[in-house]
Amino acid sequence: MRIHQIYIQIWTAAFVGCMVLDAAASSGEFARNGAIRENGKLGDHDAADISFLLRQPWNQQSNHRMSYYPAIFIFGDSLSDVGNNNNLVTLAKATRLPYGRDFPGGKPTGRFSNGLIGPDFLGHQSEYIGLPTPPPFLSAGNNILQGVCFASGSAGILNSSGNIYGEHIPLTKQVTYFANVRQELQARLGEEGTKDLLGKSLFYFNFGSNDYVTNYFLTNGRVPSLLQAQYTPSQFQDLLLSNFALRIEELYAMGARKMAIFGLSALGCLPFQRLIRNGSPTTCVESINEIVRSYNVALLNHVHALQAAHPDAVFTYLDSYRLIDSIIRQPSAYGLENVYAGCCGSGRFNGLPTCSVPRSYNVCEDASKYLFWDFVHPTSKIYKLATAKFWTGSYPDAIPYNLRELALAS
Ligand SMILES: *[C@@H]1O[C@H](CO)[C@@H](O)[C@H](O)[C@H]1NC(C)=O
């Protein structure tokens, strides 16, 4: 039996077992919660909230810490999820230690890393934006005026991506949730106030990893996913990008004007892919990286096309692949000792998704020496590095604007 067949069987068994337990423990509460959220009612309209908005630093030049954006809206997957999946019935959860062990307070919060992640470093933890981390949509309540995080672990551009883990919020649904938030903003700030707020806000997108890792590239033994039979890599790439562009058009129509779009990272270098496709400490799975590079080129073309179609908006492309590739080529330049295995997990390269499953994982002592925290997610240190890079970096890491320039561009 080949390793990936064993893997799929373990995974399936764990998946079914945990789903039953999880669903029994929590479906009632979460189903009710979900139903409340579905109808878009986020809470009472409160006139006091407007004065709260007017006190924000971006409206107050004298404040010592001017914010570059009045609000941040985050669309994405587990790389940006700050707690949405805590409210869903899914295996893709990071609510048990050692997730979060290096987070302030040392507690798991639903972030898929050992500590702070991208949206945190963008927010108040850093000197960058000067805003708090945007709250997860599913538990944001009234707290929406400085932005919201819609990102959800295992989510993709396609609704079906990530289904193997359970519930998630795919891109289409994240856009629907944003429409609900927009209605709420409009009720509080009026249409002009809402347009003004959204026009200056950061819209941040990290999508696509799960459409490949948790959908297109899935195999059952030697049998490739149905999608691989249906679409060539180039057709699948077009399917993803045409859908992605449509969703961005919808957000533009609702008032988004500053959009930062992350390319895919080197997915062939993930411990998970090295494990199931016979990679080694020194070799990534090149066939996968080739598909990712082609996707990124096409994504950049879409970003250019969106820009050409909408001169009153600003679009920028942020190249995660380049940064991760550079880290893998020269680990010591970044203070790293291991760039091929997860700090936490089991199996070769700790490439199995078992981090935090009781009695089934190893965990390294110092995650700051590692590129990867678990089978697919980077360590907090890498998020910090990446945020610094995309805040001030230059071409070709950011094309054409870094996140700081994007705030000032019009
Ligand atoms: C994806 O889900 C949304 C509902 O969230 C639905 O409106 C849409 O039609 C679905 N797309 C596909 C291709 O099934």
Per-residue pLDDT of the chain (410 residues; tens, 9 = 90+): 344 443 443 444 343 333 322 332 333 322 323 332 333 333 333 333 333 333 344 433 333 356 799 999 999 999 999 999 999 999 999 999 999 999 999 999 999 999 999 999 987 656 677 788 999 999 999 999 999 999 999 999 999 999 999 999 999 999 999 999 999 999 999 999 999 999 999 999 999 999 999 999 998 777 888 999 999 999 999 999 999 999 999 999 999 999 999 999 999 999 999 999 989 999 999 999 999 999 999 999 999 999 999 999 999 999 999 999 999 999 999 999 999 999 999 999 999 999 999 999 999 999 999 999 999 999 999 999 999 999 999 999 999 999 999 999 98
Q: Where are the alpha helices (DSSP H) in 212-285?
A: 226-230, 233-253, 271-276
Query: What SS3 state is found at 346?
Result: strand
Query: What CA–CA distance (Å, rounded) separates 155 from 162?
Result: 6
Residue located nearest, by CA, to atom 11 of ligand 1 = 159
pLDDT of residue 42: 32
User: Strand runs (DSSP E) across 40-195, as ranges?
Assistant: 72-76, 147-149
To test the pocket of ligand 1, the residue of 88, 159, 231 to mutate (highest count of ligand atoms within 8 Å of its CB) is 159
Residue located nearest, by CA, to atom 1 of ligand 1 = 159
Closest CA to 285 of 269, 305, 265: 269
Residue located nearest, by CA, to atom 12 of ligand 1 = 159
* CA distances to 55, 58, 70, 143 from 51, in Å: 6, 13, 14, 14
Closest ligand 1 atom to 159 CA: 1
pLDDT of residue 333: 98
Q: Which helix (H) or strand (E) holds 197?
A: helix 171-200
Closest ligand 1 atom to 176 CA: 5
The DSSP bridge partners found for residue 318 are: 262, 398
Query: What SS3 state is found at 345?
Result: strand
Could you tell me whether strands 72-76 and 147-149 are parallel, antiparallel, or unpaired per DSSP bridges? parallel
Name the domain count of the chain: 1
Query: What CA–CA distance (Å, rounded) separates 146 from 71?
Result: 4
pLDDT of residue 67: 76
Q: 400 is in which domain, residue-wise?
A: 3-408
pTM of the model: 0.86
pLDDT of residue 6: 38
Q: Angle of helix 233-253 relative to helix 286-309, nearest 10 degrees?
A: 30
To test the pocket of ligand 1, the residue of 157, 172, 178, 227 to mutate (highest count of ligand atoms within 8 Å of its CB) is 172
Residue located nearest, by CA, to atom 14 of ligand 1 = 159
Distance of CA 246 from the midpoint of ligand 1 (Å):
13
* CA distances to 91, 138, 172, 228 from 168, in Å: 10, 11, 11, 22
CATH code of the domain containing 79:
3.40.50.1110
* CA distances to 93, 199, 344, 375, 378 from 353, in Å: 11, 40, 9, 6, 13
Distance of CA 158 from the midpoint of ligand 1 (Å):
8
**Whether residue 377 lies in the annotated active site:** yes
Give the contacts of 246 (CB within 8 A, at least 6 positions apart): none
pLDDT of residue 125: 56
**Whether residue 302 lies in the annotated active site:** no
8 Å CB contact between 346 and 361: yes
**Ligand 1, CB cutoff 6 Å, lining residues:** 159, 172-173
pLDDT of residue 127: 64
**Whether residue 366 lies in the annotated active site:** no
Give the contacts of 310 (CB within 8 A, at least 6 positions apart): 252
Query: What SS3 state is found at 145?
Result: coil
8 Å CB contact between 243 and 295: no
Annotated catalytic residue: which of 78, 80, 265, 320? 78
